[in-house]
């Protein structure tokens, strides 16, 4: 069974540009969550999608957005990139959403560098 696949693994962008990251969850999983990991702030929750609907949202500006497709694949978009957006972006896949005992499986992440 394939794991969570995130593409691309590495990205370098310039300030002011926008970027789209992709996540393919484990087959059969309907929930996809996104996290930002930085040395200073640690792991911070961005948002969660379940069956194409955003269920939860973290405390990030509107420049961060996401969506989920009918095949459960998800994309997140960051517009007007800032230097502080440089981070490892992690996607997590779960079978169900909103259930506390559900295990989350993570992809290897996309390392975004903004210059």
Binding site for another protein (CB under 8 A): 4, 6, 31, 33, 35, 42-43, 45, 48, 55-56, 58, 90, 92, 94, 97-109
How far apart, in whole angstroms, are the C-alpha atoms of residue 37 and residue 29? 23
Kind of pairing, strands 53-57 and 110-114? unpaired
Q: Least Å distance between CB 76 and another protein?
A: 15
Smaller CB distance to another protein: residue 31 or 74?
31
Residue for token pair 């040395």: 39
Helix (H, G, I), strand (E, B) or coil at 84: helix
Q: Least Å distance between CB 38 and another protein?
A: 11
Smaller CB distance to another protein: residue 24 or 31?
31
Distances in Å between the alpha carbon of 115 and those of 5, 39, 48, 84? 25, 17, 28, 10
Q: Least Å distance between CB 16 and another protein?
A: 28
């Amino acid at each position: 069974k394939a794991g969570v696949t995130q593409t691309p693994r590495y990205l370098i962008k310039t300030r002011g540009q926008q970027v789209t990251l992709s996540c393919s969850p484990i087959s059969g999983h309907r929930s996809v969550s996104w996290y930002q990991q930085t040395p200073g702030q640690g792991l911070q929750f961005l948002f969660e999608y379940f069956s194409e609907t955003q269920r939860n949202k973290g405390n990030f500006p509107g420049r961060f957005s996401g969506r989920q497709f009918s095949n459960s694949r998800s994309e997140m978009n960051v517009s007007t990139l800032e230097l502080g957006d440089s981070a490892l972006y992690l996607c997590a896949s779960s079978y169900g959403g909103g259930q506390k005992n559900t295990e989350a499986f993570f992809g290897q992440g996309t390392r975004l560098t903004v210059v």
